[in-house]
Structure 1
Amino acid sequence: MPRFSVIVPAYKVQAYLPACLESVLSQSYQDLEVIAVDDCSPDGVGAVIEEFAARDPRVRALRLPENQGLGRARNAGMELACGDYLLFLDGDDTLAPHALRAVADRLKETDEPDVLVFDYARLYWTGETVRNKAAAQLAEAGPAPFRLTDRPGLLRLLMVAWNKAYRREFVLREGFVFPPGLYEDTPWTYPVLMTAGSVATLDRVCVHYRQRRAGNILGTVDRAHFDVFDQYDRVFAFVAARPELDGWRPVLFQRMVDHLLTVYTRGDRLPRDARAAFLRKARTHYRRYRVPGAPLPLYARLRHTLVRRGLHRTFRVLRWAAALRRRLRGIGAASLRALRGAALRLHYRVQRALPLRADRALFTADGGHGHGCQPGALEEAVRTHAPHVRTTWAARPEHHHTLPPATARVVPGSAAYFTALARSAYLVGNGHFDARLVKRRGQVLVQTRRGTPLTHTGLDLQERPAAARGTDFGALLADVDRWDYLVSGNRHSTLVWERVHPGRYTTLEFGSPRNDVFQRATPADVARLRASLGVPEDAVAILYAPARRDYRRTQCSPLDLERVALRLGPRFTLLARLPGRDGGPADPAGPRVIDVSGHPRVAELCLASDALVTDYASLMVDYAALDRPIVLHTADEEAFEAARGTYVDLRSCPPGAVARSEDELIDVFATGDWNGSRSARSRAAFRERFCPFDDGRAAERVVRRVVLGETAPVPVLPLAERRPVPSAAAGRARAPQATVPAPTGALAVPDSH
């Protein structure tokens, strides 16, 4: 008997069904069966199912003699199911990676509830993934399992069958089946949730709900949408047969009215000549199931009044008026934007006619993010070594809390921003400078980039369209032509940058300013950062930070982090920083897997961790400056090389141990190779090649050359004499009885990537 029976009804989805079935069969949790139901589909669905059944014994193929609809196809699948829990997955949707393992773990944690509700994300045909807006209802805080009366907000979720796992014994005992019709999920989901003796939630995206360009069956203009009335008749008949559920009638009534209005107002549901009849029938249902005296939210009273009286023409007039209002508001907003843009352009032109301010410097990072990365380190160095220069930081308002009090702040696109852009003598950034910038005589532009280029970038992306993603190479070169200085961390970076960003700028091969903090931080800072992240005091914290996969539209963890944490045991804690958290966290957070993907400062994560696991990310160069263990996990080397490519053969000069599979990675930590002598020798050679100037004074070198005009080089501390702050694990090994003093002040830690 498998743990899960995944029932997949399929009709006219031959193009999507292989991805659907593969997403189930490739799950890291393997105790399952797939019941694929061909609902007499006229396309190649049957052949796809037979192919999967022939190659994997977990797939059971079922072909219906005639088309019966989604609900009855699911019923046919349930009759064959023998798993502990039932899951439904439409043939054009997919399971997220590791979803079943997360579901299995949550079921075990919550004592095998009757129903487990999990989250989903809409996957658009453009590749965009958007998480369910009502995800807050799935919070796992509080007692679990529970009854629906304890969490009635679950009824605000999309009422579908495929965002839940159902205990099969519970379904059979209650005799739940799907009715025929277009809205078959309605009389299934409400009764199941109201009847369940125990319910639990999983705050994780487990299903990717495909939004096809041509729409789905509910987006077909047809009178078949009148089926929604029959389905709510079934829901209220179910409640009428069970007096103990009578208290749910007011909630069900409001949900019914909202649902009917959705069908009525959507332009892709009802034929124009059927709208009046639909609203008249909605009036009948309103009066039939209304609960007298039930309170209504203020915003809903007008809508309910229109339904109760069946005022079709009034409804149309109000909708036209609302549409006209939105149109006029849009025109007014566009006019105001145009007027504001013209005023700002004029303001910028006037400011450019005024004298430059030699004592002003404008900084920005990552297109308007907060204080950090290379520009953040340089801004701090300017205030320290050139205090006569006043610094200004351009960041969006939500990032202003990260800025030091001594730094002025402006919002990109504001009048103050254009004033600073026009009159500051120094402009410092790590990406493309503002396209509206007109460089003036005497202005100095300092480009810092974001790290050491280990993977192809700049003009080299012309041959790699997957990584280029529509890059405007003409604009790239126009931006390069404005640079005066480019900050480089090492000889490798200099050679790459000057080739892929050809220009007349001067390269300052002075080290990586954002790594200066590693030489200044103290054990107290490390302890404070670990505590803020929730890392246990005696744990070995592993920072997992893989590179973005250009060949994937959606990003997911190459590792099953929960499995890795389980195999490594309680001694280790994983800090997971994953690129592009499409659809929410890619892996569940927990006591030994902490999701830090949204943490704004990577340097803080480096300081808090004891080791780094990565693949091709340039973060390994920054981490090498810390002289802490690095482990490479390169399971998809061929695919990554084909999509983006690397400049460095990491197999011949790795910064530490190398694992080519998940099991090898686990073995590297289980055997201690991650911090052994061989790993230390590899890291030493890597540091010598890529961190020759990272002695804590890189930012000072840049400021003295660019701002103070000094030509005498600042001496570089030899590698052997550098003392970066030790990790917490290393500190315990050196002085197991020592205590960490309380921090006396906050440490300014620049961001890194």
Structure 2
Amino acid sequence: MPRISIVVPVYKVQGYLRECLDSVLSQSYGDFELIAVDDLSPDGSGAILDEYAARDLRVIAVHQEKNGGIGNARNTGVARAKGEYLLFLDSDDTLVPGALEAIVERIDATGRPDMVLYDYARTFWWNGERRNRDADLFAEPGPDVFTIAERPELLDLFTVVWNKAYRREFYLEGGFSFPEGFYEDAVVVYESLFTAASISLLDRVCVHYRQRRQGNALRTPSREHFAVFATYERLFRFIEERPELHRWRAFMFEHMIDHYLFILSRPDRVPPNARAEFFGKAAAHYRRYLPAGFEVPEGIQGAKFHAVGRGSYRAFQGLKLVNSGYVKGRAKARKTKNKVGKRAYATYYQLQRQRPIDENLAVYAAYWYRLPSCNPLAVYEKAKELAPNVHGVWVVKKSLEDQVPEGIDYVVANTPRYWEVMARAKYFVNNVNFPDRVIKRPGQVYLQTHHGTPLKRMGIDQQRYPAAAKGMSFRKLLERADRWDFSVSSNQHTTEEWERVYPCAFESVNSGYPRNDVYYRAGADDVAAIREKLGIEPGKTAVLYAPTVRDYQAGFIPRLDLAKVAQELGPDVVLLVRTHYFYGADPQLARLEDEGALIDVSAYPVVEELNLAADALITDYSSIMFDYANLDRPIITYADDWDVYVKSRGVTFDLLSGKPGETPGVIATDEDELIEVFRSGSWRGAEATALRAAFRERFCQWDDGNAAERVVRRVLLGKEMAPEPVAGRTPAPAPGEEAASGLRLVPGDDPDKLLAG
């Protein structure tokens, strides 16, 4: 029997779940079981639980057949628990290092009490941390073991179950259980505190309580908040049935009315059209549960009590400063409105925003108003086919106006027509963010397509890396991300990362990347035509070298002696070099191209065509590797500065680990190793092929040639379209594929078996 059972209810937390589970599994104290209950979560949370359960026997993944809410999930977990003590942990929170060891030590030091209360700290997206405001209560002198009657001030602590350890026998004998709906913690917290014969305190932060910017159900206006009435009805029934608990009537009454007033004071709780009804039910409870001799609080709070007692909603509304939070919220809204008004970007733009939204107009942009490309272009092309009534307009820079392909309607940024379409378009599609001056109107729909799979740290994770965070306002970054309604993802790894590092309220569209559709739709003739356009002679092996940008250095600094590499690879290899789009034209590359040493494709407008033309890819940490993996062609990782890159930018997994699913093929850390990789043939050998297959399985899981259709159907047509199975995909043929040596994975092959030989 484990000493500790930790119950974790799980629902729509795929962006935070791994951090939660890792915080438990990495504890210094290991005698526990972790019962994670998937409450029929519609995202990837259930699969994450199964993954963890498969590799750690302490994890028990339970999958509910229907969604029953957090209370029901906790009850299910308790029923499966076998530990001496029960702990609850929410799936977006974490245990701090050493927490379990400290809790168990306190349990043993105080004679196995019914309950141990420990402290927590709120954590914020900007890496801020603030300990519980009532933390001093844990340090106050008093007996090591007590009842709540001896320390009644502890009843004013935050009413949650996840900062308490319950002796399971006491919990079961007490018949405690969570009700359905909101405010479920209060029932178990108060029933257990009132009846525990022995309670102990641990003056230590054991839980990090994540303060989510958005996505907290309690901060969403709905009638679900009416569940609070059933909570207090149950608590008063519990007290009335036990004469020894009658002493707590006055406390519970005051706490109940305070709670009702707090809910009424917050604009993000009860909807405006239901507030009078909520007040009426609160007044009914006031009359029903008012204890004899109750003394109403003094001041403004007492005036509110009197208003509720009289059932006068008008009097309640008329009180000055009814709720400081509401007043502050209104002041903040006025301040924001004034700020926007002062900006007054353009009178014309303001006037256009007063006109109706054009339901059949979409604005497209890519890479800060560069030419049409990437995921937005793929969505644009598919929308013309599936939603021809929606007219697409591209935004481009003035300097690129003469390069826009024929047949594409476009506007130049900051022109009158630009402000008109930005004011009136129904849909916005971009792979980066639109400028702050663009104000999203109610009713407009923003599709964020992104432009890569995150190996490097993104979003708020960059705060820990000075080279990446330099000059960036993360608050403004999140305000821009708040505009997203939909976020496109190419794989589960990316979905989890986006939801965690951009803590906003968007919906993830697990479609695959639309720009990668071409890899499953192009044929041999298409590949040959692209190679001819690039000047690659028939029979030559084309190797694309595409390094990423370095945050810690300025400008393009070649990490290879390109002339040497090109010469050593021999006359049958053509080296294509593409610098990151952040860099301008490089004179050295131009010189080497003039000398015939390589082909500089940095300015080539379509990256997808470069990938189709290449027999192999050399890259470092660029997201191009994830796209290229769709083609099932060799990928060589050239990482001469891995340690520096990890420290300056941070990574989401160990690209150089050599593990299936992390490393896409062979690795070279200097020029000589890179040259030897090609001379030996290992770049396309059996081990590299198997690694590539595992990498492709993990990071190309939804790419199959239909991603753009899925996106258009979901966003523009309001329909769902599930990804096809991976086994049903066939990528574009490689140049001269029939002559290539090495293995090629076919559906059904096991990458691990190939690696094992």
TM-score normalised over the length of structure 2: 0.50
Match of 2:620 among 601, 615, 618: 615
**AA matched with 2:622:** A
Measure, in 1, the Cα distance between the counterparts of 2:554 and 2:402.
32
Residue 461 of structure 1 corresponds to: 462
Q: Is the 1:444–1:484 Cα contact (8 Å) retained in structure 2?
A: yes
2:713 maps to 704
Kindly state the Cα deviation for residue 592 of structure 1 after the two structures are TM-superposed. 3.8
The amino acid across from 2:470 in the alignment is R
1:666 correspondence with 2:675: yes
Task: Tell me if structure 1 keeps the 8 A contact 2:369–2:396.
Answer: yes
Equivalent position of 2:494 in the other structure: 493
* Shift of residue 600, structure 1, vs aligned partner: 2.1
Which of 726, 732, 739 is 2:733 aligned to? 726
Contact 2:486 2:507 survives alignment (8 Å):
yes
Cα displacement (A) at 1:678: 1.2
Q: Return 5+ residue gaps in structure 1 as ranges.
A: 1-340, 735-753
Matched residue, 2:482: 481
Please list the CA deviations of residues 199-228 of structure 1 after superposition, one character each: whole Å capped at 9, or x if unmatched: xxxxxxxxxxxxxxxxxxxxxxxxxxxxxx
**Alpha-carbon deviations, 1:670-725, whole Å to 9, x = none?**
111111121111111001100011001111101101111113x2441x33331111
Aligned-pair CA distance for 1:430: 1.0
- CA-to-partner distance for each residue in 1:588-636, whole Å, 9 max, x for gaps? 2143411112222211111111100011111100000111110001111
Q: What is the distance in 2 between the residues matched to 1:342 and 1:456?
A: 33
Which segment drifts farther, 550-559 or 436-445? 550-559
Q: 1:715 to 1:468 in 2, by over 3 A?
A: closer
- Counterpart of 1:687, as a letter, is R
2:649 to 644, 652, 659: 644
Q: What do residues 478-507 of structure 1 show as CA deviations (whole Å, max 9, x unaligned)?
A: 101111111111111011111111101111
What is the rounded CA distance, in whole Å, between the counterparts of 2:407 and 2:424 in structure 1? 19
2:644 and 2:584 mapped to 1: Cα distance? 21
Q: 1:384 to 1:525 in 2, by over 3 A?
A: same
Pick from 584, 587, 606 the counterpart of residue 585 of structure 1.
587
Distance in 2 between residues matched to 1:714 and 1:497, nearest whole Å: 20
Aligned residue runs from structure 1 range 330-409, under 5 A: 345-400=346-401, 403-409=404-410
Alpha-carbon deviations, 1:507-528, whole Å to 9, x = none? 1111111101111112222122
Alignment of 1:625 onto 2:630: yes
- Kindly indicate whether the alpha-carbon contact (under 8 Å) linking 2:511 and 2:723 is maintained by their aligned counterparts in 1: no
Paired residue type of 1:613: I
- SS of aligned partner of 2:587: coil
Task: Please give the alpha-carbon distance, in whole angstroms, between the structure 1 residues aligned to 2:427 and 2:405.
Answer: 19
Note the C-alpha offset of 1:537: 1.5
Q: 1:456 touches 1:645 (CA, 8 Å); kept in 2?
A: yes
CA distance in structure 1 between the partners assigned to 2:618 and 2:723 by the alignment? 33
Residue pair 1:392, 1:409 contacting (<8 A) in 2 also: yes
Q: Which residue number in structure 2 is paired with residue 682 of structure 1? A: 691
Task: Map residues 127-142 of structure 1 onto 2, 5 A cutoff.
Answer: none
Report the Cα distance in structure 2 between the residues aligned to 1:385 and 1:582, rounded to whole angstroms.
Answer: 37
Query: 1: distance between equivalents of 2:401 and 2:729?
Result: 34
Aligned amino acid, residue 651 of structure 1: L
Q: What letter corresponds to residue 554 of structure 1 in structure 2?
A: G
Amino acid at match of 1:606: N
What is the CA-CA distance between 1:668 and the residue it aligns to?
A: 0.8
Shift of 1:468: 2.3
Q: Which amino acid aligns with 1:700?
A: E
Q: Distance in 1 between matches of 2:393 and 2:585?
A: 35
Deviation sequence 1:71-125 (CA, Å, 0-9, x none): xxxxxxxxxxxxxxxxxxxxxxxxxxxxxxxxxxxxxxxxxxxxxxxxxxxxxxx
The C-alpha deviation readout for 1:349-374, integer Å capped at 9, x for no partner, is 11111111111100001111111011
Report the Cα distance in structure 2 between the residues aligned to 1:566 and 1:615, rounded to whole angstroms: 21
Q: Counterpart in 1 of 2:663? A: 654
Residue in 1 that maps onto 2:230: none
Separation in structure 1 between the aligned mates of residue 422 and residue 377 of structure 2, nearest angstrom: 18
The superposition leaves residues 634-682 of structure 1 with CA deviations (integer Å, 9 ceiling, x where unpaired) of 1111111111121121123211111122111111111111111211111
Distance 1:447 1:574 in 2: 34
Residue of structure 2 in register with 1:448 after alignment: 449
* Cα gap change, 1:592 to 1:524, in 2 (>3 Å): farther
Taking the aligned partners of 1:380 and 1:342, their CA distance within structure 2 comes to 36
Q: Superposed, which structure 2 residues align to 1:530-609 within 5 Å? A: 530-579=531-580, 580-581=582-583, 584-587=586-589, 588-589=592-593, 590-609=595-614
8 Å CA contact retained: 2:556, 2:586 = no
How far is 1:731 from its partner? 5.1
SS of the residue 2:537 aligns to: coil
With over 3 angstroms needed to count, the CA separation of the structure-2 counterparts of 1:410 and 1:379, relative to structure 1, is same
Q: Residues 572 and 592 of structure 1 are in contact (CA less than 8 Å); yes or no, is this contact kept in structure 2?
A: no
CA deviation map 1:243-267 (0-9, x unaligned): xxxxxxxxxxxxxxxxxxxxxxxxx
* 541 and 432 in structure 1: CA distance in 2 versus 1, 3 angstrom threshold: same
What is aligned with 2:421?
420
| Counterpart residue identity of residue 486, structure 1 | S
Report the Cα distance in structure 1 between the residues aligned to 2:535 and 2:504, rounded to whole angstroms: 46
Deviations 1:133-190 (A, max 9, x none): xxxxxxxxxxxxxxxxxxxxxxxxxxxxxxxxxxxxxxxxxxxxxxxxxxxxxxxxxx
2: CA distance, partners of 1:402 / 1:514:
20
Is contact 1:557–1:578 with CA below 8 Å preserved after alignment? no
Letter in 1 for 2:637: L
Amino acid at match of 2:426: A
Contact map agreement 1:455 1:645 (CA 8 A) in 2 = yes
CA-CA distance at 1:342 after TM superposition: 9.9
Residue 581 of structure 1, CA deviation: 4.5
> Alpha-carbon deviations, 1:320-364, whole Å to 9, x = none?
xxxxxxxxxxxxxxxxxxxxx999711111111111111110000
Using the TM superposition, give the Cα deviation of residue 733 of structure 1 relative to its aligned residue in structure 2, in angstroms: 4.9
Opposite residue 388 of structure 1, the aligned amino acid is N
| Distance verdict in 2 for CA 1:592–1:586, change over 3 Å | closer
- Assess if the C-alpha contact under 8 Å between 1:570 and 1:592 holds in 2: no
SS at match of 1:532: helix
8 Å CA contact 1:543–1:574 kept in 2: the answer is yes
Equivalent pair of 2:702/2:723 in contact (CA under 8 Å) = no
SS in structure 2 at match of 1:728: coil
* Counterpart code for 1:576: V
Q: Counterpart in 2 of 1:215?
A: none
Q: Which amino acid aligns with 1:559?
A: L
AA partner of residue 683 (structure 1): R
Amino acid of the structure 1 residue aligned with 2:729: R
Cα distance in 1 between the residues matched to 2:584 and 2:370: 20
| CA distance in structure 2 between the aligned counterparts of 1:620 and 1:408, rounded to whole angstroms | 32
CA contact (8 A) 2:398 2:413 kept: no
Alignment partner of 1:353: what SS?
coil
The CA distance in 2 between the partners of 1:523 and 1:386, in whole Å, is 30
Please tell me whether the aligned partners of residues 557 and 586 of structure 1 are also in contact (alpha carbons under 8 angstroms): no
Residue equivalent to 2:326: none
Inter-CA distance 582–374: structure 2 relative to 1 (3 Å threshold): closer
Give the distance between the partners of 1:676 and 1:512, measured in 2 at CA: 28
Question: 1:428, 1:511 → 2: CA distance?
Answer: 16
Q: For residues 610 and 400 of structure 1, what CA distance do their matches in structure 2 show?
A: 34
Q: How many residues align?
A: 392
